[in-house]
Amino acid sequence: MSIQLGKLCSRIVEQHFGEVVRIVADDLFASIARPLSQIVRSTGLTKSEVCKSLAILIKFGLAGFNPNKARTGYEYRLHYDRVVMILRYPRYMHLIQTKFDHESAVLMEELLRCGSQSASYIIVKSMSNVDVKNQNTLSLLREKFTMLAQGHYIIRAPEPKACADNSDLMELCYDNANPFAMPELDLRILTELHEGKPVKAPDEGITWVVNVERFHVDFRDSIMVTAIERMIDANAGEAMKYLLQLMDERTNSWEAVSNPIALVDMRQRCEKKSANTEMLRYLDQYFSVMESYEFLSKFDGKGGGQFTVNMKKIFEQLTWTCIENIIVEKYGSKAARIFRVIRMKRYVEQEDIQKEAMVPAKEAKQLTYKLMEENFLQIQTFRKPGGGNAGAPKSFFLFYINQTQIVAMLLEICYKALYNSMTRSTHDKTVNKRLIEKSQRLDSIVETMKERGESEAYINEILETLTPPEQEILKKVKLRVKSLYSAEIGIDETIFILKLYQEYQNK
């Protein structure tokens, strides 16, 4: 936890849930875990306000609770990683829209908006957002919801159960052996619910949440496929895609090293799924090249060769690439060359850096100490003890790189950049709120007029109520907000890679 992460979480919670919930979230962030009475006392809010705020945070998976050590009450804690994941909701939506269809995306959007909810409620509520409505729409939405559950993109929420040693206290746990099993949903009852009739939902008490782990597996695989495409070619990327599918079937999703996969099995999978003859013809060579890049490791020679996917090494390399790209953007290619030399040599003296990097001595010193000042490099001092009249002990100063420390620093920078971007975007919207609302009202009026079949001249006359200076300001604001939003997506992708590196390093 850090100051920058705390400020970012505070901003996200305030934007989505309001000021009162933000105060409670800030209080939880400042501590590891707190009981209800202490939260009420430290926030200055009423007990009712704190309870409602905690209920909202728990409903959206942003906070959790556990019985305290004395088993006399509960302690609440904030899941700050889940708070930052709110910024990924548009990416979740885009993935579902791309992989499935519009109806599935509508269901996912409704579930993200609710946090956790029953399947029948989500299906009935999604009816109003579907483009085409007919007598088969409810059946279609039920089928799409089932597909999302089968694809593990949604999962049953843990159910509250009485603690074994104290029946008065509850804790959340997965009691169902299959958390992706769909309950029986009668279409007749769903129709009656949609019509507003007072009937009992068939799945009352069974709530669903978004399974972010599944989305992150897809994001991770997409990063690896894209990396292989850039390093080799599109055929190699396609081969990696099928290899990751086999890995997903045979290995736990977040293992650092996959179980062995035979080249014969890989060839059979490619023959079934792909019509790319060039990729099939040179599959052996593609595997050899990927092995040379350390994306694969040869495990055995059986079955034409067995290979493992080493996730830990892959994301270590991708993180190195990410760090080098940041150095190139901030300090130039010569600084990146120096960084690369130190990375390869591990421990290097100043004189050796300028020789190996082929950079003039003065410039090499300036860039080296600039990188050290910005914590991209560390320095280690070695002293050679002098004896007798040998004079003062001689010291050696060696530069080296601590990748773990750099990743932690870059995460801090990313959190700060995200916070600044969101703050600036909110400021622009607030300052130009009147103008934005005026534009939205005009757009709504023009849309209504077009539906009524009004003349173009009359419509243009209405549009002219927005003066040219106002149009220019509005255009600049929209462009800036759009640019900031694009920057937020790029920063979040960097955070995702860096967090994956940390996760795999801890295994």
- Do 280 and 322 fall into the same domain? no
> What CATH number is associated with residue 290?
1.10.10.10
Same domain, 106 and 166: yes
In the listed set 210, 230, 254, which residue is the last one of a domain according to the structure?
210
Of 63, 80, 97, the residue at which a domain comes to its end is 80
pTM of the full predicted structure?
0.87
- Give me the tens of pLDDT residue by residue for the chain, a chain 507 residues long: 688 999 999 999 999 998 999 999 999 998 888 888 899 999 888 999 999 999 999 999 899 888 888 777 888 999 989 999 999 999 999 999 999 888 899 999 999 998 888 888 888 888 887 877 777 888 888 899 899 999 899 998 888 777 776 667 777 777 667 888 888 888 888 888 888 788 888 788 888 999 999 999 999 999 999 999 898 888 888 889 988 988 888 888 888 888 888 888 888 888 888 888 888 888 888 888 888 888 888 887 776 778 888 898 999 999 999 999 999 999 888 899 999 999 988 888 888 888 888 888 888 889 988 999 998 998 888 776 655 555 556 777 888 899 999 999 999 999 999 999 999 998 888 888 888 888 888 888 878 877 777 777 877 777 777 778 888 888 888 899 899 999 999 999 999 999 999 999 887
In terms of domains, do 248 and 340 share one? no
Burial class (CB in 10 A: 0-12, 13-18, 19+), 339: buried
pLDDT at 390: 54
Residues 188 and 115 in one domain: yes
- Can you give the residue range of the structural domain that contains 113? 87-210
Residues 205 and 219 in one domain: no
Task: Note whether 232 and 292 are same-domain residues.
Answer: yes
Output the six-digit token pair for 341: 């030399």
Handedness of CA 90, 91, 94, 96 (dihedral sign): negative
**Are 197 and 283 members of one domain?**
no
pLDDT at 284: 86
Asked if residue 206 and residue 92 are part of one domain, the reply reads yes
Clarify whether residues 271 and 332 are in a common domain: no
pLDDT at 188: 83
Provide the domain count of the chain: 5
The pLDDT of residue 10 is: 92
pLDDT of residue 328: 92
Say if residue 91 is in the same domain as residue 206: yes
Q: Does 185 lie in the same domain as 100?
A: yes
DSSP states along 59-103? HTTSEEEEE-TTSSSEEEEE-HHHHHGGGGHHHHHHHHHHHS-HH
Closest of 219, 270, 216 to residue 242, by C-alpha: 270
What is the C-alpha to C-alpha distance for residues 214 and 489, in angstroms, rounded to an integer? 19
> Which single residue is written with the structure tokens 């300001």?
473
Cα–Cα distance for residue pair 297/306, rounded to 1 Å:
9
pLDDT of residue 406: 93
pLDDT in the model for residue 430: 87
Q: Are residues 171 and 237 in the same domain?
A: no
Three-class SS of 320-357 = HHHHHHHHHHHHCHHHHHHHHHHHHHCCEEHHHHHHHH
Token pair 């705020």 is found at 53
457: tokens are 């001249």
Domain boundary among 156, 186, 210: 210
| Residue 375 vs residues 231, 345, 431: alpha-carbon distances, Å | 29, 18, 38
